[in-house]
Amino acid sequence: MKFKVKDCDPSTGEPDPDEEGYDDEYLLEDVELTLADYMIPSYVPDFNSSWDNDLANAEEVVETYNLTAATSIRAAVSSVLEHLGMSAVQGSDVVKDKATTHALYLVGRFSGGILALAKVRMAFDSSSGVTLRIEVRSESRDVADRIANGIA
């Protein structure tokens, strides 16, 4: 950020009109925005009803990932919630001890109030990590794409 520095009159706070000032610069740090920064966690009273009725004709995107760094289903759930910034509903964020499969149901509103629902199915294998399949329905194809690809 570049700016001009001038002395100010201490009694008025106004810059001295007779002074030209001098140029100065302040370095700004990079800011990284993620998908979660554009998402508002939301709630629907009945996920299945909203999936089947409210967004039955919505845009749908399906992707599959292999999360080799995930050491458990619980770790994968935590990572997905952090990356997507959506709310887990129907208690789907609770993972049973030593679970090898799990289903996570997510609801959120993307910037502009665009509703999105996601079904995330996971399976854990100690040799290959977590295989994850995400299905996203949204009023917007772009939003559905962003969410489905937000895991990568």
Predicted pLDDT of residue 67: 92
Give the containing element (helix H, strand E) for 117: strand 114-125
> Can you give the residue ranges of every domain in the chain?
35-148
pTM of the complete model beyond 0.85: no
Predicted pLDDT of residue 98: 87
Q: Looking up tokens 């996920």, which residue turns up?
A: 47
Alpha helices in the chain, H assignment, sequence order: 47-49, 73-84, 141-148
Class of the domain covering 35-148: alpha beta
Taking 90 as the threshold, does the pLDDT of residue 10 lie above it? no
Cα dihedral 137→80→121→118 (10° resolution)? -10
110-136: per-residue pLDDT in tens?
Answer: 999 999 999 999 999 988 999 999 999
